[in-house]
Amino acid sequence: MSNLRKKLPPLTALTAFEAAARLSSFTRAATELGVTQAAVSRQIHLLEEDFGFPLFRRLHRKIELTEKGKLLSAAAGDAFNLIADTVADLRSEGPDDELAISATISFSHFWLLPRIAAFSRAHPEIKLRIITQDARTSIETSDVDLAIRYGTGTWSDGQAELLFDDEVFPICSADYLLTAGEVRTPQDLVGHPLISSDTEDPTWTGWEEWLAAFSVKAPKKARGLRCSFYIEAIYAAMNGQGIALGWNRLVADLIQQTRLVRLTDASIRTRAAYFVVVPTRKPKKESGRLFIEWLREVSASAV
């Protein structure tokens, strides 16, 4: 290191030279560096004395690099650009880098957002961005750092790690139950308005599949509300419009808050589960590792 320092010129003088060479002006270099024109001129004069040859030709109202000055300018520019790029990369990989997390609307609304404040308190230096979308997009080609998905765990755009599975059972509001009367068995559900939601996911459990698990045939002309998203079905149930299917992981907090009531002891295990998915061909972020570690801890203690 000591030999390297002896070979290099003073950094202050080299910085002044690089700016003057790039801008072709001592005055503009001084403005960029926030010093006087005389200070830039003095630093370059010291550099030329150290080298023993001129770096600029001082012409009338302009300066030009000498041949040796051009060589030094190219080397200094490349070196400074390399340092700037490296610093930018280090900063982008730092602990305060933004972490983009993708999740479905229902999972984000009912599970992730009520819990994520705990992660932010533990890691206030990490900036989080929640991307809520039901349409599944590739995490390899998007700006998503990791995704939380419901499915079988086999996705070509990333490596999946199991978080937890789930169970499904009927739910409604306490007010609806008071007016509708007691519901004891799956067969008792058939006469009630059954709230459903549209989905293209073949692993998602609907009323027909749920009732069939208990040898009950779903009514051909159901009276219940049909919603575009699962979150709408849950809010419809909370507002007393009928009975919906509740995914335990999503509605457990609402049941604990008595905003929803579970009907019957009957439930079925889901065919799919929740996974955290990490892109296979993107650099791994330290913030992402910490978030997945937090997900494991919360998942292990979740109901």
Q: Which residues contact 259 (CB under 8 A, 6 or more apart)?
A: 173, 238
In this predicted structure, the answer to whether residue 91 has a pLDDT above a threshold of 70 is: no
Residue 172, φ and ψ in degrees, nearest 5: -160, 180
Q: Where are the alpha helices (DSSP H) in the chain?
A: 2-7, 11-23, 26-33, 37-51, 67-92, 105-107, 113-122, 174-180, 207-212, 230-238, 248-256, 286-301
Q: Write out pLDDT tens, residues 34-62.
A: 889 898 999 999 899 888 999 999 988 88
In this predicted structure, the answer to whether residue 2 has a pLDDT above a threshold of 60 is: no
Q: Write out pLDDT tens, residues 221-254.
A: 778 899 999 999 999 999 999 999 999 999 999 9
pTM for the structure as a whole: 0.66
Report the C-alpha dihedral over residues 229, 235, 237, 240, rounded to 10 degrees.
-140
Q: What is the DSSP string of 133-163?
A: -SS---TTTSS-SEEEEEESS--TTEEEEEE
Are 278 and 148 in contact by the 8 Å Cβ rule? The answer is no
- Sketch out the chain's domains with CATH numbers: 2-92 (1.10.10.10), 98-164+273-301 (3.40.190.10), 167-269 (3.40.190.10)
For 195, the 3-state DSSP assignment is: coil
Q: Write out pLDDT tens, residues 168-187.
A: 999 999 999 998 888 889 99
For residue 5, the model assigns a pLDDT of 64
For residue 79, the model assigns a pLDDT of 87
CA distance 146 to 135: 15
Are 112 and 156 in contact by the 8 Å Cβ rule? The answer is no
CA distance 167 to 205: 10
For residue 201, the model assigns a pLDDT of 81
Report the C-alpha dihedral over residues 175, 170, 162, 296, rounded to 10 degrees.
30
- For a pLDDT cut of 70, what percent of the chain falls above it? 94
For residue 167, the model assigns a pLDDT of 96
Highest average pLDDT, of 16-30, 87-101, 193-207, 234-248, comes from 234-248
Token reading at 259: 């905003």
For residue 96, the model assigns a pLDDT of 47
